[in-house]
């Protein structure tokens, strides 16, 4: 399998990527980030909001996320037991079944 099949690239190669629950400049949850999005502050930060429902990217093997240009904000999910990490590695050879 080629490396390109294991890589997610930010759309268009440049611009803005917002991953998480979008919020406006006051922190109020909105349906989608404005264009252009203001980074930082475009998604609900789990450090500031214990109710934050962000995202979690799960990578396995040689998978990776490539952002070549532009701005990126990735907001994870709040947890009282661990830091809010929106990226997780899946051990090689382990099945999710």
CB-count burial class (<10 Å; 0-12, 13-18, 19+) for 29:
middle
pLDDT band at 5 (very low <50, low <70, confident <90, very high): very low
Chain segment 42-86, per-residue pLDDT in tens: 999 998 888 888 888 888 777 777 777 788 899 988 888 888 878
pTM greater than 0.75? no
State residue 93's pLDDT score: 63
Contact criterion met (CB below 8 Å) for 57 and 36: no
- In three-state secondary structure terms, 80 is coil
Distance CA 39, CA 20 (A): 13
Domain boundary assignment for the chain: 1-97
Residue 94 reports pLDDT greater than 70: no
pLDDT (0 to 100) of residue 57: 83
Q: CA Rg, the chain, in Å? A: 15
């Amino acid at each position: 399998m080629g490396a390109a099949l294991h890589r997610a690239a930010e759309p268009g190669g440049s611009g803005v990527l917002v991953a998480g629950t979008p919020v406006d400049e006051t922190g109020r949850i909105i349906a989608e980030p404005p264009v252009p999005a203001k980074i930082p502050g475009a998604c609900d930060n789990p450090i500031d909001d214990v109710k934050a429902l962000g995202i979690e990217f799960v990578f396995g093997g040689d998978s990776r996320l490539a952002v070549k240009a532009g701005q990126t904000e990735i907001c994870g999910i709040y947890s009282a037991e661990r830091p809010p990490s929106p990226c997780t590695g899946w051990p090689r050879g382990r099945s999710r079944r």
